[in-house]
Amino acid sequence: RKCIVVITGASSGLGLATAKALSETGQCHVIMACRNFLKAERAAKTAGIPKENYTVMHLDLASLESVRQFVDTFRRSGMPLDVLVCNAAVYLPTAKEPTYTAEGFELSVGTNHLGHFLLARLLLDDLKKSDYPTKRLIIVGSITGNTNTLAGNVPPKANLGDLRGLVGGLNDLNSSPMIDGGEFDGAKAYKDSKVCNMLTMQELHRRYHEETGITFASLYPGCIAETGLFRNHIPLFRTLFPPFQKYITKGYVSEEEAGKRLAQVVSDPSLTKSGVYWSWNKNSSSFENQLSKEASNAEKALKLWEISEKLVGLA
């Protein structure tokens, strides 16, 4: 049978390119878990994904209620779950003031981390039940959260501190919209959320890999400088960023190539090692990359897990 793959945020950029690449293998059916139903349908059509290879289901990660509803809808479809890809993200580098999710968490960490944390935790049961030979749970990471790289050292750097802002519920009612308890900074909030994504993948691996056989993985697909992720950036940045990445840093990767990379992590039989953060070298071959000190700190991963459980209502 076909492999059933749920991809969050498959209505544009990396998620859409991955859905297309997986569809082209002829062996996958993609559930496009998206907040904008019509946009997702249009995107699938424009990308030329055949109707029988995808289903659009509504998911707004900025609402925990919507996450729970998505899980219900998916279960009622009767389809098994073989692979979950947590891909959606928001990036608000120019925001002066914080904005919030339905439950009142700062939007970047609330969407990118907490929404996916609840989704992954709930769907773990469905993954366990699948009889597919290689079950996987993938959370898209990023170089920007890794302070052991050049890109990760561009200020403001990711830093979760002692997680006091997260404990306070990520809003200025109790403490601060930032995980470390500092002043709001949209670019930093995104980087922090990516560190959370990478820590969560490792904690899932430690807790569930042996027991369930599920492969947990994260990746940095390269700098996909033209995706919607940069839609909130100033126009000059959006003009200069792609050529800068192409010719200066040489970290540029097209949406199509990035989609192929993530599709490899979803379905390539040679990429089944669990607990790995994948990257690609200049010849586009995959390798196991090193995470920064903070993004691989097991103590922090555990603390993040326990606080996140409370915030999303699982503990």
Write out the residues near ligand NDP by the rule CB under 6 A: 8-9, 11-15, 34-36, 39, 59-62, 87-90, 111, 140, 142, 194, 220-221, 223-225, 227-229
For ligand NDP, the closer CB: 61 or 201: 61
- Going by C-alpha positions, the residue among 52, 56, 57, 59 that lies closest to residue 29 is 52
Question: Distances in Å between the alpha carbon of 272 and those of 25, 215, 261, 288, 298?
Answer: 18, 6, 14, 12, 22
**Which residues are paired to 32 by β-bridges?**
7, 56
Phi, psi angle pair for 177, to nearest 5°? -75, -5
Minimum Å gap between C-beta 59 and ligand NDP is 5
- Going by C-alpha positions, the residue among 221, 216, 220, 197 that lies closest to residue 272 is 216
Minimum Å gap between C-beta 281 and ligand NDP is 16
Catalytic residue among 190, 220, 252, 277: 190
Q: Tell me how far apart the alpha carbons of residues 308 and 298 are, in angstroms, rounded to a whole number.
A: 15
> Among all residues, whose Cβ is closest to ligand NDP?
13
Minimum Å gap between C-beta 28 and ligand NDP is 18
Q: State in Å, rounded, how far the first CA of the chain is from the last one.
A: 36
Catalytic annotation on 252?
A: no
The answer to whether 110 touches 254, Cβ cutoff 8 Å, is no
Minimum Å gap between C-beta 183 and ligand NDP is 22
For ligand NDP, the closer CB: 151 or 167: 151
Minimum Å gap between C-beta 203 and ligand NDP is 18
For ligand NDP, the closer CB: 44 or 307: 44
Q: If DSSP codes are grouped into helix, strand and coil, which group holds residue 65? A: helix
For ligand NDP, the closer CB: 111 or 267: 111
Q: Tell me how far apart the alpha carbons of residues 70 and 57 are, in angstroms, rounded to a whole number.
A: 7
Give the position of tokens 């944390």: 117
For ligand NDP, the closer CB: 34 or 109: 34
Active site residues: 190
